[in-house]
Structure 1
Amino acid sequence: MAGRLLAIGECMVELMQAEGGLMRKSFAGDTFNAAYYARLYLPSDWTVDYFSAVGKDMISDEMLAFMQERGIGTEHVARLDGHAPGLYMIHLKDGERSFSYWRSVSAAKLLARDGDRLRKAIEASDIIVFSGITLAILPAEDIETLLSELRRAKAAGKRVVFDPNIRPRLWDDADRMRAAITEGARAATLLMPSLDDETTHFGDASLEETIARYRALGVAGQVVKDGSEGATLVFGDERSHVPSAKVEKIVDTTSAGDSFNGAFLARLATGASPEDAARFAADVAAAVIQHHGALVAREKLPKG
């Protein structure tokens, strides 16, 4: 059955290490990465769109062309004068990554400024994906605009997917961060958190505490990711665990969670059980982290 997935957030210019001390340019961002992998595995009668904002400069033109070439719709990406995409650089050490960011004039910070535009895009979609980073870059009043529209979507029966993706460096206050993440979860029907984030920033003593805290917010489904330990799935009264896929050598963990999210949603949307979707997503994430960069070419990934 045909459908439409809408990912909301910030796509950035990505600089990564290349041979000879050079840097390679690409474009990536957590919800865009998820959209990319969802697009790879959704059937052709599904539409995948990105909702964001960019500038009117040359690099913004390149970014939009990049999205379109990969089958991601850009009709919901606003063009704003005086702004440009943000930029980040990946630093790698033994396969683990850290980042440096330049995003002070990022147009994506204004993505929710036009509430009517936001509502139109959400109403036209079946699955809506957003993250804690989406919330973190927005002014307080625009966070409420976005969450209000997502609550409406949830009430209308749409699948609203939230990855808390907690990045404290993006927030000016830890309590405000936790409050916004909590409200983001409350607006969702499917939550895809990382257990390490939850224990670190919410003080959960166990997986059980994380699941119970989010269940109390009215979240119908949870996929709690725990790195090499796999993922725990809670859908209504059904609970299961899916192990991670084996990896011979970790090259770059960038987009491990994002690729899992996108592949999982693609399989779930086309009728797979949560367990089967998670097993496939674990295989995709395992392939992704054996290559450099956030977006790995289709031929290097599992078929499906």
Structure 2
Amino acid sequence: MVELSPGVDPLDLRSGFAGDTYNTAWYLRRIRPDWTVRYVTSVGQDALSETMLGQMRAAGIDTDHIRQLPDRTVGLYLITVRDGERSFSYWRDQSAARMLAADQGQLDRALTGADVIYLSGITLAIIGAAGRAVLQQSLKVAHDRGALVVFDPNLRPRLWQDTRTMCDAITDMAALCDIVLPSFEDEATFFGDADPAATLARYQRGLTRTVIVKNGPDAVIYDHCGQTGSVAPTPIAETVDTTSAGDSFNAGAMAALLSGADPEVAIRLGSEIAAQVVCNRGALVPVSVPEIDLPRPG
């Protein structure tokens, strides 16, 4: 989507391109430049869509399976920040990304050969019930071929027809995924979880083998193939903007975990990346990758 974010003067808006799954892809390329990161979505054929594709390619992201639709364009959102916490206003009714799962054959081809597939609750929200059914089928096919599926529930009720539909769809999708990365604050609000342990337990079903529960400045807890524990996040002196905090954490945690690192190493890397991100304005900011010993190919 097009991102409009405030500068020091709230009326001084900066434009860029961002969005939850794209943010994670962008940071993953920063952390593991030796990996191929493919983004699968739909955009328009207008100048703004072409500019977005150019930005993705410049970031090193594979755009070969992004469809361009003649009658659509990209969505837009505006960030408002107060005391470091952000809120969003969206304009996405004509977003081409809503057509992500409109063509199952194309989607299956896009996912073919992927080692890891990452998606979020926002993905589910914008494609509608029919799209969710197509996406689930494509993910099952990819999973049977050996792909790992990673899911951030990213609960955004304004994108859904009602809270019950959201919670049911999130629960159904999570059961099909190998790794689930929820945020406790959202889960407590919409699922009524009493504590992070309740969130952890609720997602331990179906195919899920790893659950990492983010919890803002508080300890991150996890269950990874029966190994459990908690990790204190990196302290942050001053939070400027929490946009993309969870997305960047996910990138760091995935980069380490999928490289074969211990889950606590994965959480520390995710936390250190997110700590850099929240000290800046906007979703995509330069980061330095901490010196954490990650397995490398060869």
Superposition TM-score, scaled by structure 2 size: 0.94
1:29 aligns with 2:19: yes
Match of residue 291 from structure 1? 280
Match of residue 127 from structure 2? 138
Aligned-residue identity in percent: 44
Shift of 1:274: 1.2
Identify, as 1 or 2, the structure richer in strand: 1
Shift of 1:139: 2.1
SS of match in other structure, 2:114 = coil
* Match of residue 82, structure 2, among 81, 93, 103: 93
SS of match in other structure, 2:203 = helix
**Contact 2:276–2:287 at 8 Å: present in 1 too?**
no
What's the C-alpha RMSD, in Å, of the aligned pairs? Answer: 1.4
Q: Which amino acid aligns with 1:249?
A: E
CA distance in 2, matches of 1:237, 1:303: 27
CA distance in 2, matches of 1:130, 1:22: 32
Q: Which amino acid aligns with 1:196?
A: E
1:273 aligns with 2:272: no
SS of match in other structure, 1:223 = strand
Shift of 1:267: 1.6
**Contact 2:175–2:205 at 8 Å: present in 1 too?**
no
**Contact 1:85–1:106 at 8 Å: present in 2 too?**
yes
CA distance in 1, matches of 2:253, 2:102: 30
**Contact 2:75–2:91 at 8 Å: present in 1 too?**
yes
**Contact 1:287–1:302 at 8 Å: present in 2 too?**
no
SS of match in other structure, 1:50 = coil
CA distance in 1, matches of 2:291, 2:90: 34
CA distance in 2, matches of 1:156, 1:197: 32
CA distance in 2, matches of 1:154, 1:240: 27
1:15 aligns with 2:4: yes
CA distance in 2, matches of 1:36, 1:273: 23
CA distance in 1, matches of 2:104, 2:31: 31
**Contact 2:273–2:287 at 8 Å: present in 1 too?**
no
1:65 aligns with 2:62: no
SS of match in other structure, 2:41 = strand
Superposition TM-score, scaled by structure 1 size: 0.92
Shift of 1:151: 2.3
* Match of residue 42, structure 1, among 29, 32, 35: 32
Shift of 1:78: 0.6
SS of match in other structure, 1:51 = coil
- Greater relative CO (CA pairs within 8 A, separation 6+): 1
1:190 aligns with 2:179: yes
CA distance in 2, matches of 1:282, 1:27: 23
Unaligned runs of at least 5 residues, structure 2: 293-298
Distance change in 2, residues 1:87/1:138 (3 Å) = same
Match of residue 254 from structure 1? 243
SS of match in other structure, 2:140 = helix
Q: Which amino acid aligns with 1:95?
A: G
CA distance in 1, matches of 2:118, 2:127: 16
1:263 aligns with 2:252: yes
Could you give the per-residue CA deviations for residues 227-249 of structure 1, whole angstroms, max 9, x where no partner exists? 11131110121001111101111
Could you give the per-residue CA deviations for residues 218-268 of structure 1, whole angstroms, max 9, x where no partner exists? 411101111111311101210011111011110000000000001111122
Task: Decide which moves more: 26-35 or 290-299.
Answer: 290-299
CA distance in 1, matches of 2:145, 2:187: 29
Unaligned runs of at least 5 residues, structure 1: 1-11
Q: Which amino acid aligns with 1:32?
A: Y
